[in-house]
A and B are shown apart, each in its own frame.
Chain A
């Protein structure tokens, strides 16, 4: 871990300004992903701005009947919030499907959105990785690819986004709120927040330098049956091989998103419309154009079967 200086920010705007003007500066919130990566020198910030303690730890109703989740709300607290459990169950389910009790107590909403891939070639600094070191190549292609993307990837990168929470937020059409160095705020639809790798896999979100997430807004409750199904090898404390977030509404407007298959939470609006036709039709639309690796081709079938499991459970 490289040496870094440390300071506690006094306001979101100040934090954004510091990071924008200080080369090598980064925000730190829960620290559960950033410190992991700093120990391996995958992340090498020279200055850390601690954004805990800025009052961004509240969950409040919005005027139009939704919820605003502060960026620093811990994953545990978000999952346990009775409004979330009642009206956004898919989010609560997704959160508790991730990581461990200890990690969820530290990890934040913003940090969860920004967590980086678990690709082992990204994690091993002896290996080529375009995400870690642009231009060095992709070590994963042709290597061990069980966990990797089957759709939306590029010749430069086949990594997946490991977040469970983000898949649920995608199904809910959440909005990410940010503040920039100049104090301006903006709202970014979750669909636009994460990028596909293309030939710049090291750029993972649309955030600008110094732009800080202040919260996530959930639209007014969708109702319906909300499910999150995470498929993994061991029963807990493991990243998804495939996951499905679904909001099933009897009167239409159902939606489904996949995790574990792409560089971002994967949702295709056209697939939502196929939900009444069953898992096969829905998944065919979701994964149209999928190009799996040899080792992870099973994810296509697994995704279809997991969607089927979710549909069956929603009916029951």
Chain B
């Protein structure tokens, strides 16, 4: 059911609408303008920039294509592949790392913007031989299935508990002037930036609650 009112124009070319055998109809003036804009912005070589930061306590100095996200710097340049690329658009949370004590989506920050920062990834929280209490709790409560969102969930959970301690309110906080309590509703709201399609949610929450109790 194509609708002839539309003359959809692709980023990469021009689409012809209408009947099956219709030839391509191009509007040359428009297409040319479009091409010019694009060539100007893309003809050049990649721009490189230097950046230094600490990852899991170790200093790193890198020279990177400015387009490199912090996530890709970690995964592709430092071979720290624990941080996952689930969507690359800030829509899933699998890339969550802790930067200067705060959890962020590492896919939506450029590596070069993180000059001088302290970055903690899942590898920095613990190792199979010496797990962080949060990692241990996830294992005990089966707070994961496929494991792909898991590093992000764990980094997020660790930093989230600090946010509650610091008194940061959430959407689940009814009384903004009081210190937030780590209720089940608070915990679930605060972890909602980490999607788990396997949906280990119920178990993840129990794991975090156990760690929170232990830390309290």
Are A and B in contact, CB atoms below 8 Å, in the complex?
yes
A→B interface (CB under 8 Å)? 1-6, 8, 24, 28, 30-32, 35-36, 39, 41, 44, 46, 48, 50, 52, 76, 79-80, 82, 85-86, 89, 92-93, 96-97, 99-103, 105-106, 125-128, 133, 135-137, 139, 142, 230, 235-237
* Contact call B108/A3, Cβ cutoff below 8 A: no
Contact B176 A103 (CB under 8 A): no
B167 close to chain A: CB less than 8 A: yes
Asked whether B66 lies within 8 Å of A100 as measured between CB atoms, the reply is: no
Contacts A24-B41, A137-B8; A106 near B93 (Cβ below 8 A):
no
B41 nearest CB across to chain A (Å): 5
A101 engages B190 (CB within 8 Å):
yes
A residues near B21, Cβ cutoff 8 Å: none
Whether A135 lies near B89 (C-beta < 8 A) is no
The residue on B at minimum CB distance from A97 is B171
CB distance from A89 to the nearest CB of B (A): 5
State whether A96 touches B109 (Cβ < 8 A): no
Q: Report Cα–Cα, A305/B49, bound state, in Å.
A: 53
Pick the contact of B7: A3, A48, A137 (CB < 8 A).
A137
CB pair B193–A103 under 8 Å, yes or no, is yes
Docked-complex contact B103 and A6, CB < 8 angstroms:
no
Is B63 close to A, CB under 8 A? no
Q: Among B47, B113, B177, which residue has its beta carbon within 8 angstroms of that of A31?
A: B113
Contact present for A236 and B171 (CB under 8 Å): yes
User: Does A44 contact B105, Cβ atoms closer than 8 Å?
Assistant: no
Q: Which residues of B contact A (CB under 8 A)?
A: 3, 5-11, 15, 30, 34, 38, 40-42, 44-47, 49, 65-67, 69, 88-90, 93, 96, 102-105, 107-110, 112-113, 115, 156, 159-160, 163, 166-171, 173, 176-177, 188-195
Given contacts A80-B166, A103-B90, A105-B104, contact A86 B193 (CB under 8 A): no
Known: A50-B112, A76-B102. 9 other contacts (CB 8 A): A24-B40, A96-B173, A97-B171, A100-B192, A101-B163, A102-B104, A125-B10, A133-B9, A137-B9
Given contacts A3-B42, A6-B49, A31-B108, contact A105 B176 (CB under 8 A): no
Whether A86 and B177, one on each chain, are in contact in the complex, defined by CB atoms closer than 8 angstroms, is yes
Question: Which residue of chain A has its CB nearest to the CB of B44?
Answer: A3
Q: In the complex where A39-B88, A80-B169, A96-B171 touch, is A3 in contact with B11 (Cβ < 8 A)?
A: no
Contact in complex: A79, B168 (CB < 8 Å) = yes
User: Which residues of B sit under 8 angstroms from A46, Cβ to Cβ?
Assistant: 40-41
Q: Is the CB of B8 within 8 A of A126?
A: yes
Contact B103 A105 (CB under 8 A): yes
* CB-CB nearest in chain B for A77: B168
Q: How far is the CA of A126 from the CA of B11 in the complex (A)?
A: 6
**Which residues of chain B are within 8 angstroms of A127 by Cβ–Cβ distance?**
8
Give CA–CA (A80, B11) in the complex, Å: 42
Rounded to whole angstroms, the CA-CA distance of A100 and B169 in the bound complex is: 12
Closest residue on chain B to residue A34 by CB atoms? B108
Contact A99 B193 (CB under 8 A): yes
Contact A31 B169 (CB under 8 A): no
Q: How far is the CA of A126 from the CA of B192 in the complex (A)?
A: 31
Say yes or no: A96-B169 contact (C-beta < 8 A), given A4-B67, A101-B103. yes
User: Are A2 and B42 in touch, CB under 8 angstroms?
Assistant: yes
Q: What are 7 A-B interface contacts by the 8 Å CB criterion? A: A35-B108, A35-B110, A79-B168, A80-B168, A96-B171, A100-B192, A101-B170
